[in-house]
Structure 1
Amino acid sequence: MANGAFFTQDGGGHRDSGSTSGQAILSAFIPTFITAVIYIAIFAGIRNKYSKIYAPRTFLGTVPFKDRTPQERADGGHWFRDFRQLPDRFVLQHNSLDAFLFLRFLKVIAGICVVGCCLTWPILSPVNATGGGDSTQLDRLTTGNIVTKSHWWAHVVIAWVFFLGIIAFIAWERLRLIGTRQAYYLSDEYSSLLSSRTVLWMNAPREACLPENMEKYFGETAVKLWPVRDAGDLEQLVETRNGAAYALERAELDLIIKAVKLRKVNGRANGTSEVEGQHLVPPKQRPTQRETPLVGKKVDAVESNRSTTVELAERIDARRVAPSRNVPDESAVFVAFNSQPAAHRAYQQISFQPRLPMQDRFLAVRPKEVLWNNLARPKAERLSKASLALTFVVVFTIFFSIPVSLIGTISNIEKLAESVSWLSWVNDLPPVVLGLTTGLLPPFLVSYFVSYVPKLFRHIAKLSGEPTVPQAELKTQTWYFIFQVFQVFLVTTTASGAFPVVKQIFQNPASAPTLLAESLPKASNFYLTYFILQGTASAASNVINYSDLFQYLFDDYMAKTPREHYTIHAQMKGTPWASWFPKFANLLVIALAYSCIAPLVLGFAAVGISMYYFSYRYNFLYTKTTKVDTKGEAYKRALQQIPTGVYLAELCLIGLMSASGATVQTGLMIVLLVLTAVINFLLDRMLKPLELYLGVDIWQKLEVPLLAEEDNIDPNDEAALHAASHARRLGLKVLPNPAPRILSDLFDGIISAARRQAQDWLTDPTARGEDAEPLKDDEMENVYLAPAFTSKTPKLWIAGDPVGVAKQEIEADKAAGITTTDEAAEIDEDGQLHWDHDFDHIPVHKKPARI
């Protein structure tokens, strides 16, 4: 549950006289706090022993030396000092832009909650407490205690200030993000990459994909073109060939170990010649496998896999040169330009499917990110796959409410027992057991089920036709946020808090408005437990990450070949942005939705998110690597999702005030809702061009003459040209003349300040990376071709042995055309494998290409 969330549902478990008491909160807090303390204590005790799990970024060979986090210093300094002293920008400089922005997102959420506390606690808490109602305990601090209509004025004023302030902050933060991303794109390390000046176009006509037509379709600045050809069944053949090669590797190692052990059993440890050793394993004891799994005939595993590997390699070579591997009538094409500005202008201006209701071009795509099966799909197939995927997600999200609702009723099992006779035994349970059942069990169960949802959505997104892994991740992020809000917030709250209310409304329909006004605040109060769970056990579990530890220990024990051991030690956990951003965006949505209804929620949310911030900060500094690079797009989408919480908060207040008969206050809240929606709509419209094209001043200078001619602007009026350039990008040409210029200056000032700050961080001498080495001609020719056309038979890695069987197998493989080595690994006289943990010596280790 390190990556899962505890989701709490309760509308009033453990209430005295219908009010929420502190007993349920303590029942959840005490065990989770104890669990968190135990987790942290265990982590502190085992961290240094299992540095592969808890500090791989300090030493692992797959992490470039320049990007490693400092280890414990020679003067005896503790790792916690580095953790405390290293700034967040270290993550930007040595991990990724996305990781840095995710930490910023957590700080943004916590900051919004703290500001909300400063606004709501001094004003709304006493207003609610003196509202004239008869609520007791914690319910007295919610709007459920308000009877006097005039008390709602305080909520109206706070709502206008707080919610409009949040919208203004989002605008400011999105502008700063634009500047930060611009600095990232302009940094020497990024701009030197081939991918930074390469654009992918989808659904391009065949003529545009031919090299001889490159200049005609893409202009004089295009320097290289890679069309996407029909791969047919090549990818499946390559996968099968690699599987056979790795099976051969395992079989050969089995043969080596068996020969060494047989020599020891025969008592000839020191007297066996190499020739004799090669025949130590009788034919009947050689590794075998079935031709067909389970039911097939047993065959020699070494000889069978060797012949299969060779046969498939020959078939792949023949298929690659077949005439059918041509460019389809409608395909995709990668085009590299002579400069980064040229690539950005081409991305902005050239489109082959302008009316296609889905993105048709992508900037700065790296070869390792491409989902090659999805590229050469006709637009009709892309649209149908995307529609089917969306339909599945919608249906799944709706029907998932059935198990969530059933789980949600557990939190109200005490009240349910009053209506259902066969549950009467529940009332006989000890208070502690009942508290754990209603406060802890529901969030645990929902967490377990919900943790698998982003994995399913990610798989569906890849099947939906997205051309790259980052695009599939971003689509998953959107889907999962909607799922979180609908299921974890709306359905969960309704399923738990509304059950006792429904019964009373059925008995007395006229009491509906009053009952809803009282019960919604009570349901929201239990979200205090929600954030307690988040800030204690879940955050601590995120650090100890025991599931990864157990998996590592088990996999390392089960690994057989040197390659398998190396793979386990070399791999690092990635950063599933589509799981993380929606989870915490939804936490903020919940906090905002109940900010004026139950102000205490904001305080608990601030503490819980702060704990998570420290746990993720540790992970980014010591354990995680960014495998999916959205270049800041994931954070932008998360910022766009924050207003959902504002809308829900305003709608809740409108319903509560309306049910209380506060007509004027209700009208003002409706005005605020409309105003919020209009401001957010205009904000999205104005910022979309800037966020999409990331226009930079040094690139805009090339557009000035065109703007001067088209807009009848004096070419000598630099200020007017500057404003016109930004106004065009902001889509503000229709507004009166001063407006675009004022907004231009305001926006540009914020963007420029953020860009300068990020540039200072990225050009820090201690953060400079290695320049990308220029690609060789043959590498340049194949860099954007599908691996199905270029991948070679894997180089096999077995272990040397004192008997000489490994040398025999290397020669046999060489004769068949398969490269094999026994470097940096050996089998000792007891049959145990030893391998060199220095990755520079590993024959199958390759430094990732910087493309």
Structure 2
Amino acid sequence: MDSYFFVRFLRFVIRMLLPIWLISWAVLMPVTSVNTSSPGHSGLDIFVFGNVSSSRQSRYAAHLILAWLFTFWILWNLRREMQYFVTMRQRWLVDAKNATLPQASTVLITGVPQKYLTESALDDLFSVLPGGVRKVWLNRDLKEMPDLYKRQLKACNKLESAETKLLGTATKMHNKRTKAGAKAAKKSSKEAPSDDRHLTDASTVDSERNDPYSLVPPAKRPSHRLPPMSFLPFSLPFMGKKVDSIEWARDEIIQTSTALEHSRSILADDISSSSTLPVASTNHPDSLNPIDESQTYQPLNAAFILFNRQIAAHLAAQTLTHHAPYRMTKRWAATVALIIFWALPVAFVGAVSNVHSLCNTFGWLAWICKLPGVVVGIISGILPPVLLAVLMMFLPIVLRMLARFEGMPTKTAVELSLMSRYFLFQVLHSFLIVTVAAGIIAALPGLINSPGSIPTLLAQNLPQASNFFLTYIVLQGLSGTASGFLQISPLVLYYVKLFILGSTPRSVHNIKFGTRSVSWGTLFPSTTLLVVITITYSIISPIINGLTCAAFFLFYHLWKYLFLWQLDQPRSSDTGGLFFPKALQHVFVGLYIQQICLAALFFLAQDQNMKQSAIPEGALMVVLIVLTAGYHLTLNDSYGPLISAVPLTLSDKAKSPSVPQPDDTKRTQYTENASVDDADQAADVCEEFTNPAATEPQRIVWIPRDTLGLADMEVTTGNASGVAMSVERARMDQKGKVDVEGPPPDEELNVRA
């Protein structure tokens, strides 16, 4: 759904901008360029708002009429898209493929009072909802179990790497001995009969197959050093005990498996004993249940609740929406601080984009304008967008950390939060600050020499900042689309990873068959920023309309191709299109900025007598701002409650998540004819929201089958010692190169989202 609605948003922008492009070019470009001019305007600047001379102020009526017309056109499209989104999302929510998933009928609750910190208490509390509760997963403090599970995974990775390295070494040494034997046999061909030579070569190969360890001496076996101190997460060169990697990894897996099995049995006893605890005598929510101090793994204040009916989950979610454990002021304090800090380098980028004005204003910078024209063009046209892109590259990392710090429990919630924060940064720094900085730099000489002409100078020079964004949009539309279709970087990285990291079957499978995903929290804001810039300048500098429409036409075909053939979205990260209504809200931001800027420019406009000449136009723009805000509130009030909730009128169409019956059609995943037993599916549902450390078995160690048969002996030895190993669908050729024919054995039947 997220992929579909992103592509639909691109199509929505094209449909919205196409008539705006044609009308604005036909009306506004002649109005601002024919028989009118202002000092300092040349090239593309003759098409901007500020090029209307003081004797032609009546032409601003065209800008006003089109501003009203374009606003109503955009608002109509926004309502149409919001209505379509709500319809499609509700269909998706009640669709059998989604409604039958456990995730569709499960609610995560946090801040659970101590009184309800048992599975039975939460079951009783929510049993009043339609259909009742099917299962409760109470989050517990698992203490050492997650660390044990991580140690086990690390040991499995080490064993896969060491075993594959051992097989490769054995294969290469076997080939070396075979070649040496062939050369020796060739030299002694005159002394021994051919039959004897054949028997000698065959007996050598057979002995190596029967005793493969003879191929690799102990000094050549994979080894590594342990950290010199136990608390260090890594080892140090020439320090620490040197151990055989295969033997160490096997022992580590066995030890962690035994420890996890013991801990899981204690956890099962704790869960069963908690259901027998007496309930507090009072019904007050803050009353406390007696705490069972004998429990090793105490419950925490969060739980997943799976309901029998989807409507019950939605009712529970809406009931709990008012019980937020954090304050919003604290959540946004760090974000506001970052916004203020980031203003300095972004303002510098905006100033660099207007390097000619800097040269005229500051004499010590005049040498820059004396450089060759190509160099000056690169400094003012290419360097600012590149610097801006580099600055914005580091923001998502920091903003994701802030979202996790404030307590976002899911990845989708983090991405939704990132979208709002990142868009705020983009609008303030990549747009507004750059616009103001570039406009003021252009007006500085006049402001210094004639302070009384500030309104006129600002009205004439602020629109000139659009040149930077024209370059920015062309750069994004042409170079971004071209690189997206060519995919040169992913192609090069594919072969580099395969050469450097393709040492085990699992790594080869991940490189060859793993698909890339999309970070919606950064992709959507970067796209909606272009829409905001275009709407803002659609009247002030109409040439931007055609460029953006063409760019989004290219974006539409690019992303449609990528989502069909290259990109994938895991079900766990699919929000059902919740990024789309946020993107529509961003369009309103563009409308507000456009209307405020136009109102300010109208109020600043002066005729040849230095008197305000467009006050009525400015007043009508203020009226338009009020109408837009009223429409915005009405739209949100009408469709807002329908975005995330299932109405009662559709609840009967939503099927409950049921355990597959014996006659149900079995699902196929990854490989042909790979089906899942009904009991396994039921077990997956029962453990859907349990910490993997509490339920997951040891990951199967996957090594390739070699030509010497060494891998089969290693698998037999490992399985006999209690380490699950397999050589299915993985092979190593005679040159020691690893290749795979399918997924790892422990992922073949994985049906989780």
TM-score of the aligned structures, taking structure 2 as reference length = 0.82
Contact 1:278–1:803 (CA under 8 A) maintained in structure 2? no
Matched to 2:69, the amino acid is V
Q: 1:776, CA displacement in angstroms? A: 4.3
- Measure the CA separation in 1 of the matches of 2:509 and 2:399: 31
Change (3 A) 1:131 1:226: farther
Match of 1:143 in 2: 49
- Measure the CA separation in 2 of the matches of 1:102 and 1:404: 28
Matched to 1:311, the amino acid is Q
Contact 1:209–1:225 (CA under 8 A) maintained in structure 2? no
- Measure the CA separation in 2 of the matches of 1:637 and 1:772: 41
Do residues 110 (structure 1) and 17 (structure 2) align?
no
Match of 1:259 in 2: 170
Matched residue of 1:849: which SS? coil
Q: 1:806, CA displacement in angstroms? A: 2.2
Contact 2:141–2:297 (CA under 8 A) maintained in structure 1? yes
Change (3 A) 1:279 1:172: same
Match of 2:186 in 1: none
Q: 2:322 aligns with which of 354, 366, 369?
A: 354
Q: 2:691 aligns with which of 771, 786, 799?
A: 786
Contact 1:525–1:601 (CA under 8 A) maintained in structure 2? no
Q: 1:246, CA displacement in angstroms? A: 0.6
Change (3 A) 1:604 1:778: closer
Matched residue of 1:204: which SS? coil
Q: 1:120 aligns with which of 24, 27, 30?
A: 24
Contact 2:156–2:701 (CA under 8 A) maintained in structure 1? yes
Match of 1:5 in 2: none
Match of 2:406 in 1: 464
Decide which moves more: 471-480 or 500-509.
500-509
Decide which moves more: 333-342 or 575-584.
333-342
Do residues 572 (structure 1) and 481 (structure 2) align?
no
Match of 1:173 in 2: 81
Q: 1:178, CA displacement in angstroms? A: 0.4
Match of 1:695 in 2: 647
Match of 1:551 in 2: 493
Change (3 A) 1:206 1:815: farther
Contact 1:263–1:277 (CA under 8 A) maintained in structure 2? no
Q: 1:799, CA displacement in angstroms? A: 1.9
Contact 2:350–2:434 (CA under 8 A) maintained in structure 1? yes
- Measure the CA separation in 2 of the matches of 1:696 and 1:540: 47
Q: 1:209, CA displacement in angstroms? A: 5.0
Q: 1:416 aligns with which of 347, 351, 358?
A: 358
- Measure the CA separation in 1 of the matches of 2:34 and 2:126: 72
Q: 1:582, CA displacement in angstroms? A: 0.7
Matched to 2:376, the amino acid is L
Corresponding pairs, count: 656
- Measure the CA separation in 1 of the matches of 2:45 and 2:140: 65
- Measure the CA separation in 1 of the matches of 2:679 and 2:35: 72
**1:433-512 superposed matches below 5 A:** 433-512=375-454
Change (3 A) 1:233 1:396: farther
- Measure the CA separation in 2 of the matches of 1:689 and 1:419: 54
Contact 2:105–2:312 (CA under 8 A) maintained in structure 1? yes
Match of 1:303 in 2: 247
Match of 2:368 in 1: 426
The CA deviation string for residues 602-642 of structure 1, in whole angstroms up to 9 with x for no partner, is: 11111111111111111011111113201010111111111
RMSD of the alignment, in Å?
A: 2.7
Match of 2:305 in 1: 335
Contact 1:799–1:833 (CA under 8 A) maintained in structure 2? no
Matched residue of 2:215: which SS? coil
Match of 1:234 in 2: 145
Match of 2:632 in 1: 680
Which blocks of at least 5 consecutive residues in structure 1 are unaligned? 1-96, 357-378, 703-769
Do residues 814 (structure 1) and 719 (structure 2) align?
yes
Contact 2:163–2:703 (CA under 8 A) maintained in structure 1? yes
Match of 1:285 in 2: 220
Match of 1:43 in 2: none
Do residues 203 (structure 1) and 111 (structure 2) align?
yes
Contact 2:361–2:445 (CA under 8 A) maintained in structure 1? no
Matched to 1:646, the amino acid is L
Change (3 A) 1:527 1:687: same
Matched residue of 1:632: which SS? coil
- Measure the CA separation in 2 of the matches of 1:850 and 1:697: 30
- Measure the CA separation in 1 of the matches of 2:721 and 2:339: 53
The CA deviation string for residues 273-311 of structure 1, in whole angstroms up to 9 with x for no partner, is: 444322332222221111111222322111222222222
The higher relative CO (CA closer than 8 Å, separation ≥ 6) is in: 1
The CA deviation string for residues 566-623 of structure 1, in whole angstroms up to 9 with x for no partner, is: 1111210112111211111110100011111111111111111111111111101111
Which blocks of at least 5 consecutive residues in structure 2 are unaligned? 182-203, 228-234, 271-294, 606-611, 655-674
- Measure the CA separation in 2 of the matches of 1:812 and 1:838: 24
Change (3 A) 1:568 1:114: same
Q: 1:491, CA displacement in angstroms? A: 1.6
**1:204-223 superposed matches below 5 A:** 204-208=112-116, 210-213=118-121, 214-219=123-128, 220-223=131-134
Match of 1:250 in 2: 161
Match of 1:659 in 2: 604
Match of 1:55 in 2: none
Identity of aligned residues (%): 29
Matched residue of 2:140: which SS? coil
The CA deviation string for residues 662-715 of structure 1, in whole angstroms up to 9 with x for no partner, is: 22221111121122222212322232212231426343999xxxxxxxxxxxxx
Change (3 A) 1:814 1:775: closer
Match of 1:270 in 2: 205
- Measure the CA separation in 2 of the matches of 1:218 and 1:667: 58
TM-score of the aligned structures, taking structure 1 as reference length = 0.73
- Measure the CA separation in 2 of the matches of 1:407 and 1:636: 31
